[in-house]
Structure 1
Amino acid sequence: MISKTDFLAELTERIRSQKNDLEEELQSIDAEIANETKSSAGDKFETSREMMSQSRQSIAGRIDVFNEQLYFLSQIQANSLLDKVSSGSLVETNEGYFFFGLALGNLTFKKKQVIALSFQSPLGKAFLNKQVGDQVEFRGRTFIVLNCL
């Protein structure tokens, strides 16, 4: 069985690491913008500057998403046992593990696959409020909730 505390700690570290990488990239772009001198070909300079600005905005947006994810993870009570599947639940089923709250897709944790889903997804909606022992029927498959952490 997967430890929810360990899972959340590793997931937090993964997201923090990705955020740090983007922050370094953002600093690099800022340095490029500051160091770029206006060339005689004004349009070329403006185009280059605009492309860097757009890249900077895109990276800043991704950093904001990582900040939201880190905040979400910080609000989860890692040691609490849940009586039903809810936001922040790590659920063990007969088909594997699911983490509900962040749509991150397939993750590998201690050689086990964990599917991270939001409740906006069809499968997330099917699991919402299910309890240990409940069955979830989804696209011809039956998932049995074995543990809800």
Structure 2
Amino acid sequence: MDKSKILDVIKSKLADKIQKFESLIEETRASNNDTKSSMGDKYETGREMLQQEINNLQRQLNECLNQQSLIQKINEEPSSKVQNGALVKTNKGLFYISASIGEIILEDQKIMTVSTESPLVKAMAGLSKGQNFSINNVNQTIEEIW
């Protein structure tokens, strides 16, 4: 399995998400400017709600930017143990340890991208091929690590 292709897909998805959040923030700011009026409290409440939405979008954008920064630091070299940048095949699925952006499909295979902070990765961190771990009372065996 070519980890560089997986990284390219992740980078592309993150770039798309970042662009989407930037556009949403810009649109929301523009609509916030449109509501400026001297009509009273009702408009102030609307502007406050828009500001809260901008803050929420900004927080999500910052999270994507942090994930993008983490992705830039990933080593594409083969791994012999479960760590950041490893592609891990268990008897339950294929997991790429990087930024958590959900499921990607590459070469007709489903790959779950998971963060090093996820309970799954914490349960199997540092393990090698052939070792077992358990999460949520489900036993898994590491079949391969790239």
Shift of residue 64, structure 1, vs aligned partner:
0.1
Counterpart of 1:128 in structure 2 is: 125
Number of aligned positions between the proteins: 145
Q: Do residues 67 (structure 1) and 49 (structure 2) align? A: no
3-state SS of the aligned residue for 1:84?
coil
State the TM-score, normalizing by the size of structure 2: 0.87
Of 34, 50, 53 in structure 2, the residue corresponding to residue 52 of structure 1 is: 50
Q: Stretches of 4+ moved more than 4 A in 1?
A: none
TM-score between both structures, scaled by the size of structure 1: 0.85
Q: Distance in 2 between matches of 1:101 and 1:10?
A: 12
| Superposition pairs of residues 99-118 of structure 1, within 5 angstroms | 99-118=96-115
2:109 corresponds to 1:95: no
1:11-32: CA deviations, max 9, x gaps?
1101110110111011111111
Q: Aligned-pair RMSD on alpha carbons?
A: 1.9
Determine helix, strand or coil for the equivalent of 1:55. helix
What is the letter of the counterpart of residue 128 of structure 1? A
Q: Is the contact made by 2:86 and 2:96 (CA closer than 8 Å) also made in structure 1?
A: yes
Runs of 5+ in structure 1 lacking a partner? none
Work out the percentage of aligned pairs sharing the same amino acid: 23
Q: Which shifted more, 63-72 or 120-129? A: 120-129
The answer to whether the Cα contact below 8 Å between 2:90 and 2:141 also exists between their aligned partners in 1 is: yes
Alpha-carbon contact 2:74-2:85 (below 8 Å) kept: yes
Per-residue CA deviation, residues 27-74 of structure 1 (Å, 9 max, x unaligned), is: 11111122333042x111101100110000000000000000000111
Return the letter of the residue paired with 2:120.
Answer: L
Cα distance between partner residues in 2 of 1:84 and 1:38: 60
Instruction: Determine the structure 2 residue equivalent to 1:76.
Output: 74
Quick one: which amino acid aligns to residue 55 of structure 2? Answer: Q
Q: Within 1, Cα distance between the matches of 2:71 and 2:19?
A: 17
Matched, 1:22 2:21: yes
